Amino acid sequence: MSDFENRHKEKFLRIFEKELKKIDKPIILEFGVSKKALSTSIFLEYCEKKNGHLYSVDLVDYSYHFKSNNWQFIHCKDDDYDKIESIIPKNFDIIYLDTIHTASHVEKILYHYFDKLNIGGVFVVDDTSSLPYLKKREKNNFSLEINNYETFQKLLEIFNSNHENLYFESSFIGTGAVKLTKLNDNKLKRSKTLSDRRLSFLNLVRKIYLKLKRIV
């Protein structure tokens, strides 16, 4: 197993640690499979042990990966809502998103499917850390750096607008992940830009004061 695969598995197992231990007969919805199917294989092993069921969605036909009564592959895009919802059940314990890594797409999929989570269920978004894609880092990539940064910021905005309805947890192992835990059946409010004070006049004065203090 490559270093990337090891980090992905470590991140995956850590962020799902509570759920993998406590949920019996888990019902899981996964968006994104990939050639290696690392996440799918972990989810499926868990479902087979605990008599659960995994639904995996991907635009590429990866149905050849596994033959299991606990797995159903759905060959389509993650926003082909009519097809997907004609197959999947009404509620899930885990929803995992690993398809198009842009803030707008993540937001669209999150808001559409979040209501399908049971209370205490989790919605996990993969690839939310920009750090590995920074200049001089191992993955050095402008587009992925910005996409992951914007996705993380969007998830922070969603959480801030729904802090009474969600728990927010993040991992920075590998390319990162964010876990949102559903606390109640309240409808998710639309996100608003964070009204922080980094660019405020007060913070400018603070920076000048700290700089002068260091000089003195």
* Residue 34: pLDDT band with limits 50, 70, 90: very high
- State residue 1's pLDDT score: 63
Per-residue pLDDT at 111: 98
Domain ranges of the chain: 3-188
pLDDT of residue 197: 87
**Average pLDDT rounded to a whole number, residues 139-160:** 97
Contact 77, 58 (CB under 8 A): no
pLDDT band of 205, cuts 50, 70, 90: confident
The more confident residue out of 195 and 119 is 119
Q: What's the first-to-final CA gap in the chain, in angstroms? A: 54
Q: Give residues with Cβ within 8 angstroms of 1, minimum separation 6.
A: 9
pLDDT of residue 4: 67
pLDDT value at residue 215: 82
Question: Is the pLDDT score of 48 beyond 90?
Answer: yes
CB-based contact 46:72 (threshold 8 Å): no
135: left (phi over 0), alpha (psi -120 to 50) or beta: beta
- How far, in Å, CA of 58 to CA of 94, rounded? 17
- 216 pLDDT band (50/70/90 cuts)? low
Kindly tell me if the per-residue pLDDT of 132 is higher than 90: yes
Residues 102-108, mean pLDDT to the nearest whole number: 98
Q: What is the mean pLDDT of residues 153-175?
A: 97
**Which of 17-21, 43-47, 141-145, 147-151 has the least mean pLDDT?**
17-21
DSSP bridge pairs for 180: 123, 168
Residue 198 scores a pLDDT above 90 = no
pTM of the model: 0.93
The CATH superfamily label for domain 3-188 reads Vaccinia Virus protein VP39 (3.40.50.150)
Per residue, the 3-state secondary structure of the chain, as one string, reads: CCHHHHHHHHHHHHHCHHHHHHCCCCEEEEECCCCCCHHHHHHHHHHHHCCCEEEEEECCCCCCCCCCCCEEEEECCCCCHHHHHCCCCCCEEEEEECCCCCHHHHHHHHHHHHHHEEEEEEEEEECCCCHHHCCCCCCCCHHHHHHHHHHHHHHHHHHHHCCCCEEEEEECCCCCEEEEEECCCCCCCCCCCCCCCCCCHHHHHHHHHHHHHHHC
